């Protein structure tokens, strides 16, 4: 089982930020990625719909030999945070890993969260943070347009549309005086430089996807499931919509061309 793949799923392409970190810290592991690009975005769906989608996404990954599943989607992670979801395999979403990192990083006890409307409505990050440290003050802001901007390539540091939207969204967390900001959707690290510029150099940004990857490594180490393969691992990508559009946009998330096979699939 230790040489089985790590399964990663997301509503679209944002979970590739977790894949990028996995490739960096676990270079010998095989990764199977599923992006539900036909049904993006999840962030505007009801919790019941998000849970159904997540169950279908995980079931698809289980058609392959996987030893762990990562829900690299802030919306899914928030919806399933308090519900049994996957219990027979190592599993993590992004909420707990990012919350632990934020609690360790904050110096003034003020943490901001930006995410999809569904993530913010769920209060999942606030619950996770306050479980670790009830003294931390939390300010959350929904950023519904960010996913669409990233998916459509509006990611340049100087892009006036994205900067204008970001200025409005980030106003609340800036006024709250946070010194740590969780990027609670795995799309957001793609515009990290814009967010960092607007928040200022004294604010630590926490990438939920990257923290989930680090947490996954810890889980696999604990359960002695790290591969003993010495050769480089392989990435295999599945999407529920156009492979061509996926390949065109991969560079925004991985900062390189796609390396690995890409297939279109149905659930």
Catalytic residue list = 73, 185
Bridge partners (DSSP) of residue 138 are 111
Cβ–Cβ contacts within 10 Å for residue 21, how many? 21
Q: Specify which residues 239 forms β-bridges with.
A: 35, 264
Query: Sheet harboring 180-183: ordered strands across?
Result: 137-142, 110-115, 180-183, 204-207
Task: Show Cβ contacts of residue 138 under 8 Å, excluding neighbours closer than 6 positions.
Answer: 111, 112, 113, 125, 126, 129, 130
CB burial readout 170-208, b (16+ within 10 A) else e: beebbeeebbbbbbbbbbbbbbeebbeebbeeebbbbbb
Residues 6+ apart with CB under 8 A from 130: 136, 138
């Amino acid at each position: 089982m230790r040489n089985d793949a790590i399964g990663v799923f997301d509503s679209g392409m944002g979970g590739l930020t977790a894949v990028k970190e996995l490739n960096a810290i676990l270079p010998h592991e095989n990764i199977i990625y599923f992006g539900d690009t036909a049904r993006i975005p999840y962030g505007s769906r009801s919790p019941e719909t998000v849970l159904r989608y997540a169950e279908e996404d995980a079931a698809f990954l289980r058609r392959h030999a996987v030893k762990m599943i990562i829900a690299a989607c802030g919306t899914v992670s928030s919806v399933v945070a308090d519900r049994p979801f996957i219990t027979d395999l190592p599993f993590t979403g992004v909420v707990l890993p990012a919350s632990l990192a934020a609690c360790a990083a904050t110096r003034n006890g003020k943490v901001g969260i930006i995410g999809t409307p569904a993530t913010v409505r769920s209060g999942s990050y606030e619950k996770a943070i306050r479980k670790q440290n009830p003294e931390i003050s939390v300010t959350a802001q929904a950023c519904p347009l960010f996913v669409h901007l990233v998916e459509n390539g509006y990611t340049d540091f100087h892009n006036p549309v994205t900067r204008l939207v970001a200025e409005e969204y980030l106003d609340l967390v800036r006024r709250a005086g946070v010194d740590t900001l969780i990027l609670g959707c795995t799309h957001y690290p793609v515009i990290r430089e814009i967010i960092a510029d607007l928040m200022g150099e004294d604010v630590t940004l926490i990438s939920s996807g990257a923290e989930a990857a680090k947490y996954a490594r810890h889980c696999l180490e604990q359960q002695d499931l790290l591969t003993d393969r010495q050769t480089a691992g392989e990435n295999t990508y599945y999407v529920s919509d156009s492979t061509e559009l996926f390949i065109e946009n991969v560079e925004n998330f991985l900062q390189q061309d796609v390396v690995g096979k890409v297939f279109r699939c149905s659930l």
